[in-house]
Structure 1
Amino acid sequence: MSNVIGILFVLVGMFVFAVSVLGLYRFHYTLNRMHAAALADTLGTALVMIGLMILGLDIFHVLKLFLVVLFLWITSPVSSHLISKTEILTNLNLEERMKNK
């Protein structure tokens, strides 16, 4: 039963990655693309790693995967926020483009 749950987590994580790739091609604005990439990075990776933790038999491998998920949950939102903030600060036409919409 745990194998089925682990495989289900991995498949759902892969689905999140596929949807985010579609979002990267669909969206034209940089911040929308960053949002799609950040969601895939945080949610998709976490689901795949949790699925691998469920499938894993060795406690040391499960602990390593947990540390990877923890590291990604801490660093991914911070890095995507900094990249988005840099885009806002360096894009001079952003205010004009937002007023026209």
Structure 2
Amino acid sequence: LEVARLRADTAHATLTQGDTGDGAIAAKNIRLLLKAAFPAVKFSVRKRDYGALTVSWADGPDSNAVEAVTDLFRSGHNGTATPWMMVFGHAEYIFTSRS
């Protein structure tokens, strides 16, 4: 039921829907959400390996603020996917680095 609600929610119309499990769709959506949340900061969101992403940026928000966004997409080593992840993608590991 929650998956259907998220798919129809117009508040998330700019996000790509789907889940390949390899982090590709999650990376796209993380970029969009970070740009919306922190428009003055340039983020780099890169796919490292299958299911692993690295998010890096200079200055701007602290790691906790960025991880509030990235944690929506982090499934962890047990691979548990929430309804959000089923609709907007996920990655097993997401590493953040602020310089």
Name the TM-score, length of structure 2 as normaliser: 0.29
Pick the structure with greater CA Rg.
1
Scaled by the length of structure 1, what TM-score is found? 0.29
Q: In proportion to residue count, which structure has more helix?
A: 1
Structure possessing the higher relative contact order (Cα contacts under 8 Å, 6 or more residues apart):
2
More strand by share: 2
